[in-house]
Amino acid sequence: MAAKLKIDIISDTICPWCFIGKRRLEKAIEQFQSTNPNVSFDIEWHPFQLSPTMSKNNPKSKMEHYRRKFGEQRAAEMVPYMQSVGAPEGIKFSYGGVMANTLDSHRLIYWSKQFGKQSELVEELFKDYFERERNIGDNHVLAAAAGRVGLDSEQALNYLDSDADVDLVRATAERNKTESISGVPNYTIQHRFGFPGAQEPGTFTHFFEKALRELKETPSTL
């Protein structure tokens, strides 16, 4: 039976657990398709802002932000811990660089949907922020990421420099934050099975199986 499962993901581009969750989801999809080769996935990314009041034009040091938010000791402990969690997923977390408002990164992800490039772009933005220490509040950094996944970087920059979709994406991020979602990542499979957190691959495959079983049990309307 050929089937397509929809996965909706709410995340922020500066959320380390969202990057970890993406890698674990990809492992789960690979494992699931090894025994269900006729199943494909439609993944859509949705915006969430952990720090919506953060400045775009006056970025702050990542570590200084974490020290203010968590305290000196916890921030110092967080770095090696996240690096140890990220390593098995192939992520080399770096905590140099700066942090800025993520709204424009979410606008770019929204824009890339029409080209079928959301997941590829999200991967590049995670790498830029978490591994390459690039400022993903900078429109030129964002446009370069778009270019690396095969999109027109000049077109992307023109879009980012405009006000296109600003109100739409901001409103969506605010709605996602108020509709019973206290943190990210957050996943919904087939519009039915929702769960939070960077779960292990087995959790994802459990819900894939449930969703596929429901599809098989639902009579065709054709």
Strands 39-47 and 3-11: parallel
Integer Cα distance of 135 and 13 in angstroms:
11
pLDDT tens-place string over residues 7-63: 999 999 999 999 999 999 999 999 999 999 999 999 999 999 999 999 999 999 999
Looking at the whole model, is its pTM more than 0.75?
Answer: yes
C-alpha closest to that of 88 among 147, 26, 23: 23
Reported as half-sphere exposure (CB side, CA atoms, 13 A), residue 210 has a value of 13
pLDDT tens-place string over residues 114-153: 999 999 999 999 999 999 999 999 999 999 999 999 999 9
Integer Cα distance of 191 and 44 in angstroms:
12
Predicted confidence at residue 111, as pLDDT, reads 98
Integer Cα distance of 96 and 131 in angstroms:
9
Region 96-110 average pLDDT: 97
Predicted confidence at residue 195, as pLDDT, reads 93
Phi, psi of 189 (to 5 degrees): -100, 125
Better-predicted residue by pLDDT, 217 or 119: 119
Structure tokens given for 84: 């140890």
Predicted confidence at residue 221, as pLDDT, reads 43
Tell me the pLDDT of the chain averaged across its residues.
Answer: 95
| CATH architecture of structural domain 3-217 | 3-Layer(aba) Sandwich (3.40)
Predicted confidence at residue 222, as pLDDT, reads 40
Predicted confidence at residue 9, as pLDDT, reads 97
In percent, the amount of the chain with pLDDT more than 70 equals 97
